[in-house]
Amino acid sequence: MGLFRTRTAAVFGIDAHLIDVEVDLYPSGSARDFITVGMPDLAVRESRERIKSALMNSGFGYPAKAVTINLAPANVRKEGAGFDLPMALGILGATGALQPSDHHAFAGELSLDGSLRPVRGTLSMAVCARRSGLRYLVVPKENAPEAAVVEGIRVLGVRHLAEAVAALRAPEEFAAEYPAADADGANTIPDFADVRGQTTAKRACEVAAAGGHNVLLVGPPGSGKTMLARRLAGILPPLDFDEALETTQIHSVAGQLKPGAGLLRRRPFRSPHHTVSDAGLIGGGSGMPRPGEASLAHNGVLFLDELPEFARNVLEQLRQPLEEGAVTIARTSGTMRFPARFMLIAAMNPCPCGYYGDASRECRCTGGIIQRYLGKISGPLLDRIDLHVEVPAVPYKELRASDTGTTSERMRDRVLNARARQQARGFYNANLPPSQVRPLCALDEAGERTLELAMKKMGLSARAHDRLLKVARTIADLDNADRVLAKHLAEAIQYRSLDRSYWG
C-alpha cells in the first residue's frame, strides 16, 4: 500500500486540463478521515459518501485508513462529480488492489451502487487526453460515443465501477467505442418555399447567409418574421469538421448534448425567450462560468424575437461577441473565453401595438410611445446589424398564390457559390478585417457618388460605412462579380433604409 496516482481532466471554459489524482492512505484516528485538497468545489468534496458506498456495494470494500486526495495542479478549480471515478480507483490502487498506469484517464459520476452516470465535457476531455499523449479514456457508456469522435485515443465506455477496474487492468480486452451518427441527422429544417410573398425579405436572408451578416426584421404581427428566421439556418453550408468539433464541445460543456449523441453537423439555431438574463444570454453564472445562448449559437444563428422586449442591459452585452466573435468572462479563478461567432437574426414590431406604418390597420401608439419603444435598442447595437429589413403584411393575393417562390435548395446553392468565392479570399465578408475592406470593396466613380450621398442623407457612422461596403461585396459575390458596382451598393443601401424611417 502507498501513494497511487490516476488521471482525469477538469473543464475550464470549453477546454480541459489534465489533472493528477493522487491518493495516500495513513492510519486512521483523525477527526477528518477523508480529505480532498486542490481547490475542489462542493460537489467534489461531497464525493466522499458516494465513493464509500460505491466501493462497498461493488464488493471492493473500503480501507480502514484515513484518505488524503490531492487534485493537482492546485491552481485549477475542480468542479462537478466527474472526479468520483478516478478518486475511487485511486483509493483502490492505494490499497494495492490495482497497478498504476500512465496511459489512462478516467471521468464519471458514481451512484451509490457503483454504477456510473454521464458527465459534462467528455469531448473536451478526449481532446485533452489525446494532446497529453494518453492511450485510453474511460468514461460512462452514455458519454463514450461523444468522446470517440476524437481520433488518436481509444475511448472505453463503462457502466459500472467494476468495469472501470477491468478497463484499467486489461484495456486491450475492452472493445473501443465508435462515434455515434452525427447528431440532428434526422431533423428537417423548414423550407423558404413555405413563406408566401416577402420577396425582398427572402432576398435579404439570402444576402445575410451568403456573407454571414446580421439581420433585423421589422414588421407587423403575422407578417412572417419568425418563419423567415427559422428557415435561414437551412440555407447555410454544413459545418466542416473543425467547426463541428468546436460547436459540439460547447454543447457538451453546457450539458446540451443528448446521451449517445455524436458531432453536431447542422448549424445551431438558438432562440432564447426575451426574459433571459445576461448570464443566460452571454454566459457566466455562479461558480464555474457556463456558455450562454450566444456561445451555444456559435457557428450558427442566434434569433432574438421581439427584440425591444429584452432588457436593455442584456442586449448591450451582445456588443463584444458581435464585434469579436467571442465572450470573455473574468473571475477570480481566471479568465475564460467562450467562442461566440454567430449570425444575429432579430425581429421586432415597428411599435408596441405592431401596426405603425401598416396600410390596413390603424396604429394606436403616439409618437412618444413609439420613440420610447424604439429607444430600447441602442445605436451602437444597431450599427452592428448589417441589414435592416422591413417585412410588411402579406397581401391576400400573394398569400393565396399557387407559386411557392424560391426554395431553400436554390437559395443554398447560390449561398454556397458566394461563400466559395469568399473562402478563396480568406475571409467571409462579415468578418473582413478593416485593412481588407477598401481593397476588396473598391468602388468606381458612380459607386463613390452613391455612397457619399447615402452617408450624408442617412447619417451613418463609420462602422455602418464599413458594414455597408461588406454587404455590397456579398451582393457582388452572389452576382459572380469581381468588383462592387453601383447597383450592388444601391441594394446594400436599401437594406439600411430603416435607419432613416424609424431611427432617423
Q: Is 47 exposed, middle or buried (0-12, 13-18, 19+ CB in 10 A)?
A: buried
pTM value? 0.88
pLDDT of residue 231: 93
Residue 370: phi and psi, rounded to 5, are: -65, -45
pLDDT of residue 174: 86
Instruction: List the one residue out of 255, 251, 329, 257 whose CA is nearest residue 286.
Output: 329
Averaged over 444-465, what is the pLDDT? 85
pLDDT of residue 141: 94
| Kind and range of the H or E run holding 499 | helix 498-501
Model pLDDT for residues 118-141, shown as the tens digit of each residue: 999 999 999 999 999 999 999 999
Model pLDDT for residues 193-207, shown as the tens digit of each residue: 888 888 899 999 999
Averaged over 462-484, what is the pLDDT? 92
48: pLDDT strictly greater than 70: yes
Domain end call among 114, 141, 173: 173
Averaged over 369-373, what is the pLDDT? 89
186: pLDDT strictly greater than 50: no
Are 253 and 152 contained in the same domain? Answer: no
3-state class of 172 per DSSP? helix
State how far the Cα of 472 lies from the Cα of 74, in Å rounded to an integer. Answer: 52
Residue % of the chain over a pLDDT of 70 = 95
3-state SS, 209-268, equals: HHHCCCEEEECCCCCCHHHHHHHHHHHCCCCCHHHHHHHHHHHHHCCCCCCCCCCECCCC
Domain end call among 140, 173, 206: 173
More confident residue, 273 or 13: 273
Domain end call among 145, 173, 201: 173
189: pLDDT strictly greater than 50: yes
Are 346 and 477 contained in the same domain? Answer: yes
pLDDT of residue 236: 94
Cα distances (Å, whole numbers) of residue 92 to 8, 64, 87, 139, 243: 16, 12, 9, 18, 40
Are 130 and 162 contained in the same domain? Answer: yes
Are 451 and 308 contained in the same domain? Answer: yes
Assess contact for 169 and 98: CB atoms under 8 A.
Answer: yes
Are 162 and 201 contained in the same domain? Answer: no
- pLDDT tier at 180, thresholds 50, 70, 90: low
Are 161 and 198 contained in the same domain? Answer: no
Model pLDDT for residues 260-314, shown as the tens digit of each residue: 777 888 899 999 999 999 999 999 877 778 899 999 999 999 999 999 999 999 9
State how far the Cα of 259 lies from the Cα of 120, in Å rounded to an integer. Answer: 11
498: pLDDT strictly greater than 80: no
Report the alpha-carbon angle 409-300-388, nearest 5.
80
Q: What is the CATH number of the domain that holds 366?
A: 3.40.50.300
Q: Which amino acid is at 312?
A: R
Are 363 and 265 contained in the same domain? Answer: yes
Weakest mean pLDDT among 77-91, 225-239, 356-370, 478-492: 356-370
Instruction: List the one residue out of 500, 488, 418 whose CA is nearest residue 464.
Output: 500
Q: How many domains does the chain have?
A: 2
Which residues, 6 or more positions from 188, have their beta carbon under 8 angstroms from its beta carbon?
none
pLDDT of residue 389: 92
Question: Which grid coordinates are listed for 299?
Answer: 457557428
Q: Which domain range does residue 151 map to? A: 4-173
Are 244 and 289 contained in the same domain? Answer: yes
pLDDT of residue 261: 76
- pLDDT tier at 17, thresholds 50, 70, 90: very high
93: pLDDT strictly greater than 50: yes
Model pLDDT for residues 20-39, shown as the tens digit of each residue: 999 999 887 655 689 999 99
90: pLDDT strictly greater than 90: yes
Residue 115: phi and psi, rounded to 5, are: -75, 160
- On whether residue 389 sits in a domain, the answer given is yes
Assess contact for 81 and 31: CB atoms under 8 A.
Answer: no
pLDDT of residue 4: 95
Averaged over 423-427, what is the pLDDT? 90
β 136-140/269-270 pair status:
unpaired
Are 259 and 392 contained in the same domain? Answer: yes
Question: Which grid coordinates are listed for 316?
Answer: 448591450
399: pLDDT strictly greater than 90: no
- On whether residue 180 sits in a domain, the answer given is no
Residue % of the chain over a pLDDT of 90 = 60
Are 307 and 167 contained in the same domain? Answer: no
- On whether residue 178 sits in a domain, the answer given is no
pLDDT of residue 125: 96
Length of the chain counted residue by residue: 504
Assess contact for 351 and 358: CB atoms under 8 A.
Answer: no
- On whether residue 40 sits in a domain, the answer given is yes
Are 161 and 249 contained in the same domain? Answer: no
Instruction: List the one residue out of 49, 42, 43, 87 whose CA is nearest residue 68.
Output: 87
pLDDT of residue 501: 56
Averaged over 218-225, what is the pLDDT? 91
- On whether residue 49 sits in a domain, the answer given is yes
185: pLDDT strictly greater than 70: no
Are 200 and 339 contained in the same domain? Answer: yes
DSSP bridge partners of 6: 21
Cα distances (Å, whole numbers) of residue 219 to 182, 306, 410, 443: 37, 11, 26, 32
- On whether residue 75 sits in a domain, the answer given is yes
Q: What is the CATH number of the domain that holds 44?
A: 3.30.230.10
Averaged over 240-246, what is the pLDDT? 92
State CA 27 to chain mean position distance.
49
- Calculate the average pLDDT of the chain: 89
Buried b (16+ CB within 10 A) or exposed e, 384-420: bbbbbbbbbbbeeeeeeeeeebbebeebbebbeebbe
pLDDT of residue 16: 93
Tell the residue number behind the cell numbers 462542493, with chain if given: 42
Model pLDDT for residues 294-306, shown as the tens digit of each residue: 999 999 999 999 9
pLDDT of residue 188: 72
- pLDDT tier at 95, thresholds 50, 70, 90: very high
Weakest mean pLDDT among 64-73, 102-111, 205-214, 375-384: 375-384
- pLDDT tier at 402, thresholds 50, 70, 90: confident
- On whether residue 339 sits in a domain, the answer given is yes
**Torsion sign (Cα): 108, 110, 113, 118:** negative
